[in-house]
Amino acid sequence: MTVKNFRAMLVEQTEGGTFSRKITERSLDDLPEHEVLVKVHYSSLNYKDGLSATGHKGVTKNYPHTPGIDAAGVVEESHSDSFRTGDQVIVTSYDLGMNTPGGFGQYIRVPADWVVPLPANLSLKESMAYGSAGLTAGFCLLKLQEHSITPDLGEILVSGATGGVGSFAVAMLALVGYEVVAVTGKTDEKPFLIDLGAKEVISRSEAIDTSGRPLLKGRWAGVVDSVGGEILTTAIRMTNLHGVVTCCGNVASPDLRVTVYPFILRGVSLIGIDSQSCPMAFRRRTWEKIAKEWKLPHLDRQTSLCSLEELDGEIDRILAGKQKGRVILDLTS
Ligand SMILES: NC(=O)c1ccc[n+]([C@@H]2O[C@H](COP(=O)([O-])OP(=O)(O)OC[C@H]3O[C@@H](n4cnc5c(N)ncnc54)[C@H](OP(=O)(O)O)[C@@H]3O)[C@@H](O)[C@H]2O)c1
Q: Which CATH number fits the domain that encloses residue 154?
A: 3.40.50.720
Report yes or no on 277 lying in a domain: no
Per-residue pLDDT at 301: 76
CB of 131 closer than 6 A to ligand 1? no
CA-closest candidate to residue 245, choices 267, 224, 260, 229: 224
Residue 161 has pLDDT above 90, yes or no: yes
Q: pLDDT (tens digit, 9 = 90+) per residue, 258-289?
A: 999 999 999 999 999 999 889 999 999 999 99
- Tell me the CA distances in angstroms from 13 to 29, 30, 252, one per residue in order: 21, 17, 27
Distance CA(243)–CA(269), nearest Å, equals 6
Sign of dihedral through CA atoms 227, 172, 327, 108? positive
pLDDT, tens digit (0-9, with 9 covering 90-100), for 217-262: 999 999 999 999 999 999 999 999 999 999 999 999 999 999 999 9
pLDDT digits (tens, 9 = 90+) for 322-332: 887 799 999 99
Query: Do 19 and 145 fall within a single domain?
Result: no
Whether 165 and 246 map to the same domain: the answer is yes
Range of the domain at 175: 132-272
CA distance 22 to 11: 7
302 lines ligand 1 (CB under 6 A): no
Q: Among 2-6, 127-131, 188-192, which stretch is predicted with the lowest mean pLDDT?
A: 2-6
| % of the chain exceeding 90 in pLDDT | 92
Residues 91 and 160 both lie in one domain: no
The alpha carbon of 80 is separated from its chain's Cα centroid by a whole number of angstroms, namely: 28
The burial class, CB within 10 Å (0-12 / 13-18 / 19+), for 192 is buried
What is residue 162's predicted lDDT score, i.e. its pLDDT?
92
Q: Identify whether residues 238 and 309 lie together within a single domain.
A: no
User: Given a cut of 90, is residue 40 above it in pLDDT?
Assistant: yes
The answer to whether residue 16 is domain-embedded is yes
Q: Which of 257, 206, 265 is nearest to 240 (CA)?
A: 265
As a whole number, mean pLDDT of residues 116-128 equals: 97
Cβ 268 under 6 angstroms from ligand 1: no
- Parallel, antiparallel, or unpaired: how do β-strands 5-13 and 326-330 relate? unpaired
Spacing, Cα 248 to ligand 1 middle (Å): 9
At 143 the pLDDT is 98
- Taking only the tens place, the pLDDT of each residue in 165-179 is 999 999 999 999 999
Q: How confident is the model at residue 7 (pLDDT cuts 50, 70, 90)?
A: very high
pLDDT band at 4 (very low <50, low <70, confident <90, very high): confident
| Average pLDDT rounded to a whole number, residues 128-151 | 97
Note whether residue 281 is domain-resident: no
- Does residue 250 form part of some domain? yes
One-letter amino acid for residue 66 of the chain: T
Query: Does the pLDDT of residue 2 top 70, yes or no?
Result: no
Q: Which of 181, 232, 234, 251 for a ligand 1 pocket mutation test, highest count of atoms within 8 Å of Cβ?
A: 251
Q: In terms of domains, do 137 and 268 share one?
A: yes
Q: How far is the CA of 324 from the centre of ligand 1 (A)?
A: 11
- Are 163 and 259 found together in one domain? yes
Tell me what pLDDT residue 169 has. 97
251: CA distance to ligand 1 center in Å?
5
- Round the CA-based radius of gyration of the chain to a whole number and report it: 20
Query: 204 with 229: CB under 8 angstroms?
Result: no
The answer to whether the CB of 233 is under 6 A from ligand 1 is no
Give pLDDT tens digits for 183-223. 999 989 999 999 999 999 999 999 999 999 999 999 999 99
Mean of the per-residue pLDDT values of the chain: 95
Is the CB of residue 73 below 6 angstroms from any atom belonging to ligand 1? no
H-run or E-run covering 201: strand 200-203
Last residue of a domain, one of 272, 290, 318: 272
Residue 41 lies in a domain: yes
pLDDT at 1 over 60: no
For 50-106, the pLDDT digits (tens) are 999 999 999 999 999 999 999 999 999 999 999 999 999 999 989 999 999 999 999
Burial bucket for residue 305 (CB in 10 Å: 0-12, 13-18, 19+): middle
- From the list 66, 67, 84, the residue with the least C-alpha distance to 75 is 84
Q: What is the CATH number of the domain that holds 13?
A: 3.90.180.10
Q: Are residues 252 and 146 in the same domain?
A: yes
CB 172 less than 6 A from any atom of ligand 1: no
Of 254, 272, 290, which residue sits at a domain end?
272
Instruction: Please check whether residue 248 lies inside any domain of the structure.
Output: yes
Whether residues 17 and 98 fall in one domain: yes
- pLDDT reported for residue 102: 98
SS3 helix, strand, coil % of the chain, rounded to 5? 30, 30, 40
Q: What is the secondary structure of 229-274 as a DSSP string?
A: HHHHHHHHHTEEEEEEEEE---SSBS-----SHHHHHS--EEEE--
Span from the CA of 290 to the centroid of ligand 1 (angstroms): 20
Instruction: Give the total number of structural domains in the chain.
Output: 2
Residues 160 and 251 in one domain: yes
In a domain, 96, yes or no: yes
Within this chain, do residues 137 and 256 fall inside the same structural domain, yes or no? yes
Question: Is 35 part of a structural domain of the chain?
Answer: yes
Q: Which atom of ligand 1 is nearest to the CA of 51?
A: 47
- Based on the fold, state whether residues 106 and 189 are members of the same structural domain: no
Give yes or no: residues 42 and 110 share one domain.
yes
* pTM more than 0.85: yes
